[in-house]
């Protein structure tokens, strides 16, 4: 009888574990990580320090780009802070472009106004 209770308990625990919602995370397949694009002297229009990913919105003479970054906790480890960028800052960016050819991508490295380079992953 104790073996049956143990097996039933393990079975119920397994069912409960499987029924819990899993933590979802999107793929980075939308970014072409075999290529990089570089923009110099672009203007920061927004810096969104939010979970699950930080976003930098920049503008050049022709277009606006939304660049996805790592999580705030990972970016802290590479030297970023919630106030590393502010609207109006002129920066250089190296990023993985979107596969669909639209403006935007995944930020790889940002060169800040003071010349400091920060890795976004």
Q: How many domains does the chain have?
A: 1
Give the number of other CB atoms < 10 A from CB of residue 46. 14
Is the residue at 5 inside a domain? no
Is the residue at 39 inside a domain? yes
Is the residue at 113 inside a domain? yes
Query: Going residue by residue through the chain (121 aa), what tens digit of pLDDT does each one get?
Result: 555 555 445 454 444 343 333 344 557 789 999 999 999 999 999 999 999 999 999 999 999 999 999 999 999 999 999 999 999 999 999 999 999 999 999 999 999 999 999 999 7
Q: Of 121, 60, 48, 51, give the one whose Cα is nearest residue 85.
A: 48
Is the residue at 20 inside a domain? no
Domain extent at residue 43? 30-119
Is the residue at 80 inside a domain? yes
pLDDT at position 29 is 85
Is the residue at 95 inside a domain? yes
Scored b (16 or more CB within 10 A) or e, 98-117 reads beeeebbbbbbbbbbeeeee
Is the residue at 7 inside a domain? no
Is the residue at 23 inside a domain? no
Give the CATH number of the domain where residue 52 resides: 2.40.50.140
């Amino acid at each position: 009888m104790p073996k049956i209770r143990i097996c039933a308990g393990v079975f119920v625990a397994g069912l409960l574990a499987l029924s819990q919602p899993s933590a979802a995370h999107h793929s980075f397949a939308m970014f072409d990580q075999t290529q990089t694009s570089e923009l110099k002297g672009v203007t920061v229009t927004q810096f969104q320090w939010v979970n699950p990913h930080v976003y930098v919105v920049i503008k050049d003479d022709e277009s606006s780009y939304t660049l996805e970054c790592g999580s705030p906790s990972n970016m802290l480890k590479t030297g970023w802070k919630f106030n590393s960028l502010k609207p109006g800052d002129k920066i250089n960016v190296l990023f993985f472009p979107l596969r669909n050819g639209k403006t935007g991508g995944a930020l790889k490295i940002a060169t800040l106004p003071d010349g400091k380079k920060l890795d976004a992953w």
